[in-house]
Amino acid sequence: MGSLQLLPPTASAHAADMDWLFAALLGTSAFILLLVFGLMILFCVRYRKNSKVERGNRLGRTWRVEVAWTTATFIAFLGLYFWGAELYVDIHSPPKDATDIYVVGKQWMWKIEHPGGQREIDTLHVPVGRPVRLVLTSEDVIHDFAIPAFRIRQDALPGRYETLWFTPTEVGDYRLFCAEFCGTWHARMGGSVVVMQPSDFQRWLDSQDPGPSLAQEGEALFRSYGCSGCHGGAGTVRAPRLEGLFGRPVPLEDGRTVIADDRYIRDSILMPKAEIAAGYPPVMPSFAGQIGEDDLLKLVAYIKSLADGTAGTSQAGSVERPAQ
Ligand code: HEC
Ligand SMILES: [Cu+2]
């Protein structure tokens, strides 16, 4: 104890990069600050009242200095911008082998669901050294999921999925916060992240009572909400089969092509008229207001599982989408 710790521990693969960027921004700002204030003070002293210095008009003029410092600062700040942008894009582009963990913010708690169906509140268990992809959303107002030791924070917005990823590098317990003021008990909205050895993590997963996985629950919902009536292939309505959909480019009626990611699936359910799959009638009803965030996550997980064959039951993997 007694040591002054200015920064939280660094416990993710991105943390050190983030700290370097932070140091560079701080260093550049400090340099400019000192330069400007240094010159100000220098001139105040040098040209104070009654000081014996040359005050005549300058005769020589040159653009060189002007051009040089403008270009130099421009390049320096553009460099910082690209450095930051690259890091930003990187933490939002998860690797393919990352494990999905779903996080739903709600006044005033974080609800977390593992792909195997394990659930926890305000605590996130993750294995060390494995990439984890978070899919974040909110049931009510804007929250912000922040883990300082991993140097990540991301707004959880109602009605949208945000994703980001991290790879924990150190076993241990870290703090988890809500970093967006969200009401009376905002300050209490937080908990901890427990980073474990992969074997301990597996044991922890096994010790939890998993219940059905998200995808299995999603499959049941797919039937109870009547989706299978149209998308099951047997109905009278011509609707696209959803096997193999996730992660593929989808040609739309209006000529655009979009990637079928979490956002696309979610919007297809809530606002089917916004993006009509090419070649199909726009007859799918909107389910906005009828399906809550929890159920949406399950449906998305189910449709996702149809793509990689982890659904385990029914029509998984049978029909390929026609190449268009
Ligand atoms: C009345 C029939 C009908 C029902 C019920 C229905 N859909 Fe659809 N769905 C369609 C049709 C037709 C399309 C293609 C046109 C479009 O994109 O809107 C579609 C498109 C989709 C797409 C985009 C597929 C693609 O290939 O791009 C998804 C995802 C989807 N539906 C999911 C669902 C889910 C989940 C449910 C249940 C909550 C559901 N649908 C209920 C008819 C239906
Ligand atoms: Cu909050």
Residue 61: predicted pLDDT? 75
Answer whether residue 311 shows pLDDT above 70. no
End-to-end CA distance of the chain: 64
Is the pLDDT confidence value at 155 over 70? yes
Give the residues across from 275 on adjacent strands: none
Give the chain's domain count: 2
Question: Measured in angstroms, how far is the CA atom of residue 276 from the centroid of ligand 1?
Answer: 9
| 223, 227, 275, 293: residue to mutate for ligand 1 pocket, most atoms within 8 A of CB | 227
Residues of the chain with pLDDT > 70, as a percent, come to 92
| 239 C-alpha to ligand 1 centroid (Å) | 6
What would the pLDDT profile of 12-24 be if each residue is shown by its tens digit? 888 888 999 999 9
Same-domain check for residues 70 and 168: yes
Looking at the structure, do residues 252 and 293 belong to the same domain, yes or no? yes
Q: Which of residues 167, 182, 211 is at a domain's end? A: 211
Q: Are residues 17 and 149 in the same domain?
A: yes
Among 109, 143, 108, 113, CA closest to 125? 113
**CATH number of the structural domain spanning residue 109:** 2.60.40.420
pLDDT at 179 over 80: yes
For residues 253 and 237, state if they share a domain. yes
CA separation for the pair 93, 100 (Å, rounded): 13
At 308 the pLDDT is: 67
CA nearest ligand 1 atom 21, residue: 268
Secondary structure class of 124 (helix, strand, coil): strand
The verdict on residue 315 lying in a domain is no
Q: What values do phi and psi take at 158, rounded to 5?
A: -60, 135
Residues 6+ apart with CB under 8 A from 222: 228, 231, 299, 302
**What percent of the chain has pLDDT above 90?**
36
Average model confidence (pLDDT) for the chain? 85
The boundaries of the domain holding residue 204 are 8-37+65-211
- Output 143 or 322, whichever has higher pLDDT: 143
Q: What is the average pLDDT across 64-86?
A: 92
pLDDT, one tens digit per residue, over 256-288 is: 899 898 889 988 998 888 889 888 888 898 988
Distance CA 209, CA 31 (A): 56
What CATH number did the domain enclosing 254 receive? 1.10.760.10
Both 75 and 108 in one domain: the answer is yes
123/190 Cα distance (integer angstroms): 8
Does one domain contain both 18 and 158?
Answer: yes
Distance, in Å, from the CA atom of 25 to the CA atom of 37, rounded to the nearest integer, reads: 18
Instruction: Compute, in degrees rounded to 10, the torsion defined by CA atoms 23, 27, 29, 33.
Output: 150
Q: Does 304 reside within a domain? A: yes
**Can you tell me the distance from the alpha carbon of 236 to that of 178, in angstroms, rounded to the nearest whole number?**
47
pLDDT for residue 315: 36
Q: Identify the bridge partners of residue 165 per DSSP, sorted by sequence position.
A: 133
pLDDT band at 324 (very low <50, low <70, confident <90, very high): very low
Q: What is the mean pLDDT of residues 202-207?
A: 89
Phi then psi for 320, rounded to 5 degrees? -80, 145
Is there a contact between 179 and 154 (Cβ–Cβ < 8 Å)?
Answer: no
Predicted pLDDT at 57: 75
Query: Using CA atoms, how far apart are residues 318 and 187, in angstroms rounded to an integer?
Result: 49
Query: Per the domain annotation, does 316 fall within a domain?
Result: no
Q: Is residue 87 located within the same domain as residue 154?
A: yes
Residue-level pLDDT at 3: 57
Q: Do 144 and 257 share a domain, yes or no?
A: no
* DSSP secondary structure code for residue 144 in this structure: E
pLDDT at 55: 79
Q: Does the global pTM surpass 0.75?
A: no
Residues 117 and 204 reside in one and the same domain? yes
The number of angstroms, rounded, from the C-alpha of 44 to the middle of its chain's C-alpha atoms is 49
Interval 157-174 mean pLDDT: 90
Question: Given this model, what pLDDT does residue 289 score?
Answer: 83
- On whether both 186 and 94 belong to a single domain, the answer is yes
Ligand 1 atom 41: the closest Cα is on which residue?
Answer: 227
pLDDT recorded at residue 241: 84
Residue 314 reports pLDDT greater than 60:
no
Paired residues of 103 in beta bridges: 112, 136
Pocket of ligand 1, candidates 217, 225, 231: which has the most ligand atoms within 8 Å of its Cβ, to mutate? 231
194 and 264 assigned to the same domain:
no
Q: Directed axis angle between helix 64-91 and helix 15-46, to 10°? A: 160
Output the DSSP codes for 170-204.
Answer: S-EEEEEEE-S--STTGGG-EEEEEEE-HHHHHHH
- pLDDT confidence tier of residue 196, bands split at 50, 70 and 90: very high
Average pLDDT over residues 129-157: 91
Residues 6+ apart with CB under 8 A from 140: 105, 106, 107, 158
In a domain, 318, yes or no: no
